[in-house]
Chain A
Amino acid sequence: MGEEEELRSIVEANREANRHQWAAEAKARYTAVIGTISPCVPAEIIYAAGFFPWRVTGSQSAVHLADQYRPQWMVPYNTHIVEAQLRGELGFLDGFVAADLDLDTMRGWEVLNHLRPDAFSRLVHVSRQGSEAAIKMTAKQFHRLLLECEQWSGKAIRERDLLGAIQAYNEVRRLIGHLYGLRKRAHPPLTGTEMAGIAAAATIMPPPVFVERLGRLLSYIEQRRTALKRTAPRLMVSGDALDDPAFVALIEDLGTVVAMDDCDPGARNFIREVDTSSGEPIEALARHYRQLPGCPRDFTWPDRVSEILRWTDDWAIDGVVEYSMMYLFSRSFRQPYLAARLREKGKAHLGLTVGYRLGGDAEQLRTRVQAFIEMVSA
């Protein structure tokens, strides 16, 4: 396989046709494949237990079956996950671990738990608050998850297993962080769409496999030139569970570059490494996951938004397109605040309400984004 083809296979790893392949391969190598729901789930703990944590993407089909469990006005990401379960798309998973990102996520997890009573199903509380007590509480929750993983696997998780897992995921973060660094260039070697695909791939591929496959493409990527029509203005995309790459492609197809993101999956998961230098690994994980950059669920809005603003400087961003998933109220309540802080900094902001997949609203979104690009360019 040539290098461009290899890169493409990573970018498209989380496409519907491809994503289960990684889980299927992992079945042979790991004790269990555990679906993770929410970027706050400590994948390292699951990995240290000898399981393979595989981020759940919702069904790409229209929702029919999930309607019996969830009203239409709930967060579509979680509804599409329930749909996927009911359609049998997630039958290969041995369990689900979710963090209480919000009540919607919790309800979705409870439905999965109800449908799969045989599975290893756990819900973890990750505090939304910024105090040291919050870190401590989150660490307790993570420790309990570790004990439950041990119990289920029948195998003790030693500190070196956990440190090894953290190291494995930090290598992923380091690699992806390096790619984000390259995107500071005036003409980035990867489009925003490609970066979104790579970030998604990292959540469903075993860390050593991802590091090995992407690692050998680094030199190629560093000298690569994308086929972007224009590389200005430079935009950032902000969103949650933005699994459909079409949302980013829509922007770039209009003749600009998405030079940075504040997304999950995306920079939110990978821009920072877990820092184990100052203490015990569980506490390090708690500190890391409790403070995911940009995450709107957090009640430390000023800090999270400040991170986004720093990124707009560091990546020379002219404007932010905020994709607010329908009924995701942590984002929509925060939107005026984010927009105001961006305005103070002279950065443009466009807020768009979207579903889980880019569908019939594509033209409308395109029109609005086009107008935004023109305004920012003027």
Chain B
Amino acid sequence: MGNFLEDQIAECERRIKRIKERPDPSRLRSNLVFYELERDHRIAQLTNWRAGKPFAESAGLWTFGRALGFEQVDMVQTADRLSTTHLAQAFDRVRALGFPDLACDRTVTMLPLVIDGVDLPTPHFIIGMLTGCELIPLAFDALARYLNIPFYAIDIGFEGRSEDVLEYVVPQLQEAIELAERSVPGIHYSEERLMELQEIDRQWCLCYQDIYELRKQVPCPVGGRDAFREPRWPSIYFDPRRALDYVRAYRDDVAEIAAKGLAPVQDERLRVMWAVSGPFYYNAFALLERHGVSVPIFQYGGAARLYGAKYGIHGDTVEFGRRLSPLEEEVRMASSNSWRMGSRWVEDTLLICRDLKIDAIIWYQQLSCTPVAGAEKLLEEAAAKQGIRCLFLEGRQADQSAFNQEDFENRLLHFVERCIEEKQVAARV
């Protein structure tokens, strides 16, 4: 096993080779674009690391981080991609370092990847943002203190979109700029670069909004496994434009599937929203699809804004009643995360359910994922009023040591069969 980046490059190469040698017409053509992007991104990360280029960790504010002139470490989603062996080693290190091993997998296993200096480049600057998840900025703070890295925490509050939030957060971004420029040689914020990157983000979001519209179709042209893939913002990548190219290709794939009527589940018996998290080591969607259950969407904190379900994106003048400055746009995109308030989570989730004609919600509660834990019953009661049933499952997303597949499958199937039965009864009435 090499370091993470080398392993990922090799893994992507394997997948690319397999796709080219044995193309599978049932899979998305854009998968090839994705793996090539990921491979080249990891190669660029390795190259830049070896060349001593400045890196930042700015999860949630990747665009801002790149506009400062940093490359991105991308710790959080890297932790999602660890192999079983690597993950076990990471947990051992977490315990040895004294960090909480019961915290959400990704927020804690990402720490040794950087601390040990083997798998990921050490960031020269860290920005933590308190919007949805709070463990990520906590972990970043812990890392910053451990390695003595300049750290800036952006506090947003829970109230969402308002001029107050803009007035509060923009000065924080300005302070973060000053700190970065002061602390890291060669780093300079470029508003022009920020605007250029935001335009890429805007077009990228519009692609996802096109896909959201396609998800409304019955049967849904988006497969569950694809729905579950957390979007990777363009500025995570060394070449943000290529991320946009990928999403365009993905959108075009979905549009073609929709036009040809080739949905993964032709005869939909049930449409289910998958929410919060899921077991990365087990493909629940294949099981559901075999039983006629489509999963049009994965609902998480950023979904309502990204998919255009509720909130505006870059350039929108309705949300605040005016055009926003580039830094204000960064604040806009970071605020109104559905995960900040339980009530907002409930409203946004049910709005998306109505949009996509969702019959039921499967909420996989990742252990110690704090954003919406404790809001289950609030959602369940509100959803019941709209005739939507909920299933709550608990587990870890990356660590499969306590996963019982048989039990998990039984619970899923029992739930969906009951929902289907109720739906059929309701249709007859």
Contact = CB atoms under 8 A, between A and B. Distances in A.
Contacts of A125: 157-159
Contacts of B155: 127-129, 134, 137, 299
Interface string A340-376: 0000000000010000000000000000000000000
A74 B372 CA distance: 11
Nearest to B164: A140
B117 interface: no
B206 interface: no
Interface in A108-127: 108, 110-111, 114, 123, 125, 127
A71 B365 contact: yes
Contact of A133 (B141, B168, B378): B168
A74 B145 contact: no
A345 to B, nearest CB: 15
B374 A70 contact: yes
Contacts of A106: 158, 341-342
Contacts of A25: none
A292 to B, nearest CB: 15
Interface in B123-180: 128, 130, 134-135, 137-139, 141-142, 145-146, 153-155, 157-159, 164, 168, 171-172, 175
A133 B145 contact: no
Given A73-B102, A100-B158, A127-B155, A333 B138 contact: yes
A123 B135 CA distance: 21
Interface stretch (A36-44, A46-54, A281-289, A324-332): A324-332
A107 B154 CA distance: 21
A219 interface: no
Contacts of A327: 102, 368
B172 A351 contact: no
B384 interface: no
Given A73-B367, A128-B153, A110 B142 contact: no
B415 to A, nearest CB: 18
B103 A333 contact: yes
A336 interface: yes
Contact of A299 (B153, B371, B374): B153
Interface stretch (B93-101, B183-191, B328-336, B403-411): B93-101
B146 A107 contact: no
Contacts of A330: 134, 138
B141 A302 contact: no
B413 interface: no
B368 A73 contact: yes
B374 A302 contact: no
A372 B372 CA distance: 38
B375 interface: yes
B377 interface: yes
A312 B374 CA distance: 37
B127 to A, nearest CB: 11
B370 interface: yes
Given A106-B158, A137-B168, A333-B100, A299 B137 contact: yes
B343 A301 contact: no
Given A74-B374, A103-B371, A301 B98 contact: no
Contacts of B164: 137, 140
Interface residues of A, number: 44
Secondary structure at chain A's binding surface: helix, strand, loop or mixed? helix
B154 to A, nearest CB: 8
Contacts of A137: 155, 157, 164, 168
Interface residues of B, number: 44
A107 B374 contact: yes
A110 B168 contact: no
Contacts of A136: 168
A111 B371 CA distance: 14
A185 interface: no
A335 B139 CA distance: 12
A299 B128 contact: yes
A220 interface: no
Contact of B146 (A73, A78, A114, A336): A336
A78 B157 CA distance: 20
A100 B139 CA distance: 19
Given A111-B378, A128-B130, A137-B168, A302 B145 contact: yes
A333 B142 contact: yes
Contact of B172 (A68, A131, A329): A131
B90 to A, nearest CB: 16
Contact of B139 (A111, A114, A333): A333
B226 interface: no
Nearest to B380: A68
Given A125-B157, A335-B98, A336-B98, A107 B373 contact: yes
Interface in A76-126: 78, 100, 102-104, 106-108, 110-111, 114, 123, 125
Contact of A334 (B142, B154, B368, B372): B142
B13 interface: no
Contact of B341 (A110, A133, A329): A110
Nearest to B165: A137
Contacts of A127: 155, 157
B6 interface: no
Contacts of B157: 100, 125, 127, 137, 141
A336 B341 CA distance: 30
B394 interface: yes
Contacts of A336: 97-99, 142, 146
B171 A133 contact: yes
A339 interface: yes
Interface in A245-287: none
B175 A131 contact: yes
Nearest to B168: A137
Contact of B134 (A103, A332, A337): A103
B213 to A, nearest CB: 32
B99 A332 contact: yes
Contact of A301 (B145, B154, B172): B145
Interface in A281-326: 299, 301-302, 326
Contacts of A128: 130, 153, 155
Contacts of B128: 299
A351 B100 CA distance: 12
A47 to B, nearest CB: 25
Given A125-B158, A137-B168, A299-B128, A329 B374 contact: no
Nearest to B151: A299
B141 A71 contact: no
14 contacts: A68-B377, A71-B373, A73-B373, A102-B134, A102-B370, A103-B134, A104-B373, A107-B342, A110-B341, A125-B158, A133-B168, A133-B171, A140-B164, A301-B145
Of all A-B residue pairs in the complex, the 5 with the closest CB atoms, nearest first, are A107-B374, A299-B153, A332-B100, A336-B98, A129-B155
Given A100-B158, A123-B158, A299-B155, 15 more contacts: A71-B365, A71-B374, A73-B373, A106-B342, A110-B378, A111-B377, A128-B155, A129-B155, A131-B171, A301-B145, A327-B102, A330-B138, A335-B100, A336-B99, A339-B98
